[in-house]
Amino acid sequence: MADNTRILMISRKYPPSTGGMQEFAKDFIGRMEGVYDADKIVFGRGQINLIWFLPYSFVRSLMLIAAGKHDLVWLCDGLLAPMGVVLKKLCKIKVGITVHGLDITYSNALYQRVVPASIAALDRVVCVSENTLLECTKRGIPCNKCVVITNGIEEKKFKSDLTKGELLRSLELAFGKGLGTKKILITVGRVIRRKGVNWFIDNVMPRLSEDHIYLVAGEGPEMGPIVRKVKEKGIDNRVKMLGRISSAKLKILYNSAYAMVMPNQKISKDPEGFGIVAIEAASCGLPTVANSVDGLNDAVINGKTGWLVEYNNVDQFLDKINDISLHPDAVKKENRVFSWDNIIKKYQKVIDEL
């Protein structure tokens, strides 16, 4: 049943681009429209177009609020906070915001002077992980304004109706013959230092048995160094850099791989806000083995949807990969805590309080 609260949602991140904040915006806005009398102002073009989107969204917001159509404004990431402060003061309206990670830690000096103070001036701050909450409070955002609500997942989004045999054939057709007999480890996301792919190849892959194959889906500046590292280690027959892949191919990986690995590294001012691919994988029964860092501690339920290992402990990575001991059906069941049905109920509680 729809709530009679009227909400205006503003997002600068929206598909067709992909990633944590983008996927959050699409799913969050879609779900909120099913609960509330809602309007949205969204942005799905290249970052260079932000120069016109910000003034456009501000003027458009003023018009909609002045027409008496809304009781509350919700901003989908931290960069929009300064606009939220102006709307709050001019229109005498409540403003809430979701903060993800990099949108609070971005190291530009001017950004750090303006954005955290603006977030602090809003009425409610939802942080997608305990680590994001910590980063917010370190920058002076009152803890009593903050609440942790993780990102969500549409449980059937990556569900496959293919049989095991059909999945394995699809895997080999998409990524190479012979993979159906291997234990496929995957990492999904931008190939940057924070993701730790280079560390995993350097320290863990050489000590895994030959039947483990590592597929890395994504693009980024670390691809060159990783390719060189793979050749240096002599494991180029066991590591494949897939580049950016389609949603259809990602679904194949999630449903046919042996485990997701997230060997994320601690990078100053560039934390992992949450780690949405961990809950995407778990929705298909695929467990994750991850370094216990940043927002991954909220995305992986230790011992239930995967394993959190001591930071950069190679032996623990090896132990958990060699003995996952988690049944896919159990992983899917435990992962339902991240379903959008549950997440939106938490947002409804926050909005009711406002």
CATH number for the domain that contains residue 267: 3.40.50.2000
From residue 224, alpha-carbon distances to 102, 202, 228, 238 in Å are 24, 14, 6, 17
Instruction: Tell me the pTM.
Output: 0.92
From residue 299, alpha-carbon distances to 114, 275, 290, 315 in Å are 29, 6, 10, 22
- Write out the residue range of the structural domain in which residue 330 sits: 164-337
Q: Is residue 309 part of a domain?
A: yes
Task: Locate the DSSP E strands across 165-210.
Answer: 183-188
Number of domains in the chain: 2
Q: Is residue 158 part of a domain?
A: no
- The two three-digit tokens of residue 306, written as one number: 């995967």
Q: Is residue 281 part of a domain?
A: yes
Q: Is residue 105 part of a domain?
A: yes
Q: Is residue 157 part of a domain?
A: no
**Are 245 and 298 part of one and the same domain?**
yes
**Are 266 and 333 part of one and the same domain?**
yes
Contacts with 1 (C-beta within 8 Å, 6 or more apart), sequence order: none
**Are 344 and 317 part of one and the same domain?**
no
**Are 30 and 141 part of one and the same domain?**
yes
Burial of 34 (0-12, 13-18, 19+ CB in 10 A): exposed
164 alpha carbon, distance to own chain's centre: 28
Q: Is residue 283 part of a domain?
A: yes
Beta carbons of 118 and 145 less than 8 angstroms apart:
no
Distance linking the first and last C-alpha atoms of the chain = 20
**Are 317 and 176 part of one and the same domain?**
yes
**Are 143 and 270 part of one and the same domain?**
no
354 residues of the chain, pLDDT tens digit each: 356 789 999 997 654 444 567 788 889 999 999 999 999 998 765 566 667 888 889 999 999 998 887 899 999 999 999 999 999 999 999 999 999 999 999 999 999 999 999 999 999 999 999 999 999 999 999 999 999 999 999 989 999 999 989 999 999 999 999 999 999 999 999 999 999 999 999 999 999 999 999 999 999 999 999 999 999 999 999 999 999 999 999 999 999 999 999 999 999 888 999 999 999 999 999 999 999 999 999 999 999 999 999 999 999 999 999 999 999 999 999 999 999 999 999 999 999 998
